[in-house]
């Protein structure tokens, strides 16, 4: 692992921590990885932590009275404590392991929502939401007769706190909002929105899938009621995520699923629920993945979050300078000062899937499609977009390669179109 005396180490030293970056995707074509909003690469420390569990102490947690189980339990719960510190939770018991952000938001909808919402209540969302922070509320609204209201974004993709505030009423029970758009990179004004929501007595659910990975989010300071995020978007393994919930909410919620480990006593007639956090964690949990996420958090804790944000903003400023003057290229969303490390584009005459395919030939990995955000694409009149996304191990050289590859793709497509028109 790179050790840091300055906010971020030299790029070559940082890059050395990530074996996935050191490869050719085909002979002579080296990888430029710009698909971090979908999933980030893993440093050696995370890979080795998962390997160590699988090879040295691959036992179940909590249940075994033997050395391997005790070692697994210690590492597993240490990871929970690391998560709690990382997000500013008051106690580790407020951290629930889930399969990912989607699973965590569904847990809130199915448990808190089903218990406390009634017909006529309202849920406020925004145009920016990922399907994971939309469809669970749509399903609940249909089941219970709720109303969904949507705060609109500006034409440049920003979300103003007033847009949310205008929708709040005494009927508002939940405000569900992303911390950072996975399409536009828009950073939302969480502090102001949370304050407005709490003034109305509403509970705030934050989709932190992008936000937690790229900026400091302190649930205590912000007053967040529920925060959901995934390990694989912050250098951790796939298959594990987190639901943070304030103790008062979690204590009042029934389990969403039943099974082993989430009970203290079972009879033919019923069961008594276990203490937090275990009443929400039935069955064998994602042990290796949770340990890997703990290692990822230890790795990321070496870096000043402000320095990571500044680095990504520098990359976005560089990318905007390279591409804003390119004929036919439309950069979606706000300027670098209002967003994280995401650069989504619409290129006239070039379908995003064709662009991604052509860029892959040059070794540049991006994402093309609707990014599980169809309503947001509809808002901007798009069927799909092409998205390049950065993380702390990316450099300006990566975006130089992106811009060069985009230029080649545009010339190739237009040359083909010109030949067909003859």
Of 372, 374, 384, 412, the catalytic one is 372
What tokens were used for 384?
């799909």
- Cis, bond preceding 301 (omega within 30 deg of 0): no
> Active site includes 235?
no
What tokens were used for 400?
């130089």
Instruction: Count Cβ atoms below 10 Å from residue 239 Cβ, excluding itself.
Output: 18
What tokens were used for 43?
């440093």
User: Where are the alpha helices (H) located in 88-169, listed in sequence order?
Assistant: 101-108, 114-116, 135-144, 161-165
d(CA 291, CA 82): 10
Q: Is 229 helix (H, G, I), strand (E, B) or coil?
A: strand
Instruction: Count Cβ atoms below 10 Å from residue 294 Cβ, excluding itself.
Output: 25
Q: Which residue has the tokens 């993709």?
A: 157
- Sign (positive or negative) of CA dihedral 254, 256, 262, 267: positive
CB 309, CB 4: distance < 8 Å = no
d(CA 204, CA 223): 9
Please return the burial class of 317, using the count of CB atoms within 10 Å of its CB with bins 0-12, 13-18 and 19+. middle
DSSP code per residue over 157-174: S---HHHHHTT--TTEEE
CA nearest to 116, candidates 228, 312, 248: 248
Active site residues: 372
């Amino acid at each position: 692992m790179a050790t840091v005396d300055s906010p971020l180490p030299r790029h070559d030293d940082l890059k050395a921590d990530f074996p996935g970056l050191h490869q050719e995707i085909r002979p002579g074509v080296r990888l430029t990885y710009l698909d971090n909003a979908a999933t980030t690469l893993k440093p050696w420390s995370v890979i080795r932590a998962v390997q160590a569990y699988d090879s040295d102490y691959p036992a179940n947690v909590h249940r075994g009275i033997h050395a391997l189980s005790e070692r697994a339990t210690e590492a597993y719960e240490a990871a929970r404590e690391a998560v709690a510190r990382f997000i500013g939770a008051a106690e580790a018991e407020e951290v629930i392991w889930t399969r990912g952000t989607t699973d965590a938001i569904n847990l809130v909808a199915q448990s808190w929502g089903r218990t406390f919402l009634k017909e006529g209540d309202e849920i406020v969302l925004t145009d920016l939401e990922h399907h994971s922070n939309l469809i669970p509320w749509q399903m609940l609204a249909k089941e219970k007769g709720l109303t969904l209201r949507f705060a609109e974004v500006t034409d440049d993709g920003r979300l103003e706190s007033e847009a949310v505030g205008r929708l709040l009423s005494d009927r508002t029970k939940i405000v569900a909002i992303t911390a950072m758009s996975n399409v536009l990179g828009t950073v939302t004004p969480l502090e102001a929105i949370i304050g407005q929501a709490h003034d109305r007595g509403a509970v705030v659910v934050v989709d932190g899938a992008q936000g937690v990975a790229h900026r400091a989010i302190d649930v205590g300071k912000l007053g967040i009621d529920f925060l959901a995020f995934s390990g694989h978007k912050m250098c951790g393994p796939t298959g594990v995520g987190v639901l943070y919930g304030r103790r008062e909410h979690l204590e009042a919620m029934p389990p969403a699923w039943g099974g082993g480990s989430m009970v203290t006593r079972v009879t033919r007639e019923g069961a008594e629920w276990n203490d937090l956090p275990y009443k929400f964690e039935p069955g064998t949990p994602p042990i290796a993945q949770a340990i890997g996420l703990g290692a990822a958090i230890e790795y990321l804790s070496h870096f000043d979050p402000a320095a990571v944000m500044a680095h990504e903003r520098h990359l976005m400023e560089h990318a905007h300078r390279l591409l804003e003057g390119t004929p036919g290229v439309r950069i979606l969303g706000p300027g670098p000062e209002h967003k994280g490390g995401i650069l989504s584009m619409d290129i006239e005459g070039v379908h995003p899937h064709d662009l991604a395919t052509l860029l892959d030939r040059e070794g540049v990995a991006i994402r093309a499609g609707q990014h599980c955000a169809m309503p947001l694409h509809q808002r901007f009149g798009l069927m799909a977009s092409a998205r390049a996304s950065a993380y702390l191990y990316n450099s300006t050289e990566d975006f130089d390669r992106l811009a060069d590859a985009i230029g080649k793709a545009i010339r190739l497509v237009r040359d083909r179109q010109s030949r067909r028109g003859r």
